Amino acid sequence: MRFDDESRDPDPRPPASDDAPASAASHGARPSLVQRLVALLEVLLCSDYATQAALGATFTALGYGPYGANGELHLGFVVTVSLLDTACLVGLMLFFLHAHGERPRGLFLGSRPVSREASLGLPLVLVALGIGIALLATIQRYAPWLHTVEHNPLQALIRTPRDTWLFAVVVVIAGGVREELQRAFLLRRFEVWLGGATVGVVVASIAFGAGHLLQGADAAIATGALGAFWGIVYLRRRSVIAPVISHSGFNLLQIAQFLATGP
């Protein structure tokens, strides 16, 4: 499987000035065991599981847990932890990029015009929506037992217009922006040090889907597939702009659908 866009760019590898580690790998240098272990540690720390677990445990220890007496999630907890986790994760990624001599702009934005990437991201919102609808419809038709959660617990967070705006901010910043920056970072680690881009797409997508098991096994499968889609878009474009817009737009459409039709 190839993810490069040969029709647009005969040599899609990042320029040497943008990314020293990737440039070294493109010249056939095999990463050492130490480099692989360091990359694996960075992947684990930036997988989102470690930072969210640490923040969640901290807030719980302070007496501010995620669930109320009725067993439903607290919107304040979700918003606070999500935004703090975004800050922690972005900080970790920037620290690791600096330690390796990588340029964040080269990794996250590439060399393509931002406006062109943004215009590409808009129709990809509908592509992502089509993927999600098709997968969920297929699962409902052929594997209905995978619908393990009757009502998405996150939908219970939206009760007032204020809740809607807060949740919209979370799904854009902690969803669209953070997760696509994170995906680009993780894919680069796999691409250069941990077995290649294809391995990265598979592993990152499985982890991305598993992180949504709270919403049901069917939602986790659909989310994992969407993660693979956005990952492939990034690898072809070498910019997170289109995936960020597609991901954010998809999340906002999910909120709009809930407001229009209910659970």
Determine how many CB atoms are found less than 10 A away from the CB of residue 4.
15
pLDDT of residue 35: 93
pTM of the predicted model, to two decimals? 0.85
Interatomic CA distance for residues 254 and 136, integer angstroms: 13
Residue 53 CA to residue 188 CA, distance in Å, equals: 24
Q: Give the separation between CA 101 and CA 201, rounded to whole angstroms.
A: 24
Q: SS3 for 111? A: coil
Query: What residues does each domain of the chain span?
Result: 20-261
Do the beta carbons of residue 85 and residue 52 sit within 8 Å? yes
pLDDT score, position 19: 52
CA distances to 22, 23, 70 from 190, in Å: 11, 14, 42
- Cα–Cα distance between 205 and 154 in angstroms, integer? 21
Rg (CA), the chain: 19
- The reported pLDDT for the residue numbered 198 is 96
Can you give the pLDDT of all 263 residues of the chain as single tens digits? 445 444 344 444 444 334 545 444 444 578 899 999 999 999 999 998 889 889 988 988 888 878 776 777 788 888 899 999 999 999 999 999 999 999 999 999 999 999 999 999 999 999 999 999 999 999 999 999 999 988 777 777 788 888 899 999 999 999 999 999 999 999 999 999 999 999 999 999 999 999 888 888 999 999 999 999 999 999 999 999 999 999 999 999 999 988 887 65
- Two structure tokens written together for 150: 């009757």
Measuring CA to CA, which residue among 34, 3, 262 is closest to residue 152?
262
Query: What tokens were used for 69?
Result: 């007496």
DSSP secondary structure of 35-71: HHHHHHHHHHHTSSHHHHHHHHHHHHHTT--SB-TTS
Cα 197–Cα 252–Cα 156 angle in degrees, nearest 5: 110
The pLDDT value given to residue 170 = 93
